[in-house]
Structures are given as structure tokens and as C-alpha cells.
Amino acid sequence: MINTERLVQEFCELVSIDSTSFHERQMTDVLKKKMEELHMTVFEDQANHFYQSEAGNLYGFLKGNIPGKPLLFSSHMDTVEPGIGKKALIHEDGTIVSKGETVLGADDVAGIVAILESIRVLEENQIPHRDIEVLFPIAEEVYIQGSRVFDFEKIQSQEAYVLDISGPIGTASLQEPTLISFQIEVIGKSSHAGFAPEEGIHSIYIASQAIGQIKQGKVDEETTINIGKIQGGVATNIVPDRTIIEGEIRSYTHEKALSTLQNIIDIFETTTKLYQATYKETHIVHLHAYKVLENEKVVQRFLNVCQALDIPARLTKTFGGSDNNSFMSHGIKGIVLACGMNNVHTTKEYTTIHDLEKSTQIIFHLMKSEE
């Protein structure tokens, strides 16, 4: 019952809309109209006022006619850069790529069209289904800032399916990490590097001494550390008085992420004190780790649908993050599904017609499931 031609046309239509993070106004307006045409009750929140940006998160509700608690389906509206002037090009083998020097935008339009087409088929054919909730957040690509400020009191669902990972259709992620970004400023003392270097306190040197004590990369099987930016000094003839270090920590265990951060802070405290310098530290917890067990209903329903469709199911975990981190932190048990996005965040991004079809079939059957 999936209308493949319509599905592909809608995909090409939506990827052609510029929708980089915090600039989702046109995408929001188009999706709002499509949802209203599907007889959904639609609501746009005030996230744009919170961030002084263009658009808010878009929520929709479709009343069902079979027993069962509602299910939430979600894909984000924003894309990464380069994302201006996107156009889709369809090859003869069914592969869809970007026509220019941009990302394609399958991340996350592939998920959006699967949700819309599934609801459209339900409505057109008057197929019984449970209550359906849809959330299309803004600004997912910048540490889920859109869903982070959504009012979850509006959500009735206790289970969610988030379409937002790469991999073969039938892949579902049950676990995502805590992600903490941190900034540490080492404060020394400037002096003339030629005439009086001994009067200065060399912030770059001190920072390097601290960084040298920090194991980076894969710290253990569930934790990584990366210092990705260092900035310090103003001229080669001045002992640098300030150096800023920026990095991130990811861990499948929230408490371990916090303790790892504290270890880094302790190293900088000890090292700066040794060289008579000081430091300032700030950090942001962007994601909170979660894990969904395989025996949970939200997983078993997905596995049953894949089995019925003869689509091999693969349960995995990812070291990225998604709006599902927000859902889980508000008591909504969700998993993240592959939806036909490949080589994401690059100009080599692509999807295929076959993957769009299979992803939509899964979502359609989840929506009408009585389990």
C-alpha cells in the first residue's frame, strides 16, 4: 500500500528545503500543512523564542480507533552544513544522492517521509490504528537543543521510535551515551619572551603538561576523551598568559562520565598550582546515557514487525546521540531506528528508494500494531 512514487517525490521535495539548525522556518511551515492535511492536531512550541531562532518544535496528534496506548514517532527537521541549496539526484539503480556540493539531507528527511507516508496510507485506507503522536524537533544536530526545551507534559506516549541512525534497515539502537563538553582556561602571566621570560608564567606549557597526563581516545570499553581545540598566546615574543582547552567526554555510564570530568579537572588543578598558575573550568552535559533492555515491549514490537516483514533485525548501540536521549530522560522509553541515511554529515550522503520503502513499511506496521 505504500505509494513509492509519492514517497520518493516527497523526499526530493523536502530535501530541497534549506533547513540548517535554527533555520527550520520553511520546513516547519511545509510539514505543518502536510500534517493538517492528514487530519492531525498540530502544535508548534516556543523553542524559537528560547533560542531566538526561526521555528519551534512541531508536534502532531492523530486520534486512533483501536485499544492501546499511543506511540510517539520522531525525526528532526534540521540538517548540518553544507546544507544550503540541496537538490536530490536519483540514479538508475535507485540510489539518491546530492546533486551539488552539499549534504543530501536524508538525515533526517528519510525519517520524516517514512512517518508522513505511513500516516497517509493509514488515513487513505481507513486502516485501524492506535493513537499516534509525532514530534519533529528543531536543532537536533547541535546537541538536541530543540527537544531539550520541549514541554513533555504534552506527550501522552510512554514509548517512542526515533528514526535517526545509519545502517541497514532493521537496525535499532538501544543505548546511547552521556556526552559532556568542557572548556578549561589556564591563566598564567605574560612577559617579554626575549628580555624577561623568567617573569612570565607560560600558560601553553602548563596546559601541555596537564594534557600529557590525560589518556585520550578510548579510555575503556565504554568511555572516550578527546581534547579537540587548544588556543593560546597573542604573539611569538610574548610569554602567553592564557590558554583555552576544549574537549568532550562520552560514556555509556553517566556517573563514569562525571567522574572522568572530575579527574581532568583535578589534573589541571594540581598542574596549575605546581606552576603558580590558575584555571577556570566550565562544562555542559548535552546528553544523558540510557540503555533499553531487549525484553522491553518497545523493542519486542519492533522485532515482531521486522519478522513479519521478513526484514533482518539487528539490535545495536551507538556512541552518538539523538532526540531519544531527551525522551528517555523524561520517562519515554524509546529506541532509534535506521531509516535509510548513509555517509551522513558528508557531501557523499545517500539513500536508496528500496531503503525508504522498507523503512516506511516498518513504521506503517508499528503504527497499526495492536501489541
Enumerate the active-site residues.
Answer: 78, 140
Within 13 A of 272's CA, how many CA atoms are on the CB side?
23
Q: How many helices (H) and strands (E) does the chain have?
A: 10, 18
Q: How far apart are CA 28 and CA 139, in angstroms?
A: 12
* 201 DSSP assignment: B
Q: What are phi and psi of 37, to 5 degrees?
A: -65, -25
Task: For residue 7, report the phi and psi dihedrals to the nearest 5 degrees.
Answer: -60, -45
**Within 10 Å of residue 129's Cβ, how many Cβ atoms?**
23
Distances (CA, A) of 90 to 18, 77, 95, 100, 354: 19, 22, 6, 13, 12
Return the bridge partners of 181, or none.
Answer: 248, 284
Nearest to 324 by CA among 149, 163, 108, 197: 163
Q: Measure CA of the first residue to CA of the last residue in the chain; give whole Å.
A: 21
Q: How many CB atoms lie within 10 A of CB 94?
A: 15
Which DSSP string corresponds to 242-303?
EEEEEEEEEESSHHHHHHHHHHHHHHHHHHHHHTT-EEEEEEEEEE--EE--TTSHHHHHHH
Are 285 and 123 spatial neighbours (Cβ–Cβ below 8 Å)? no
d(CA 341, CA 358): 12
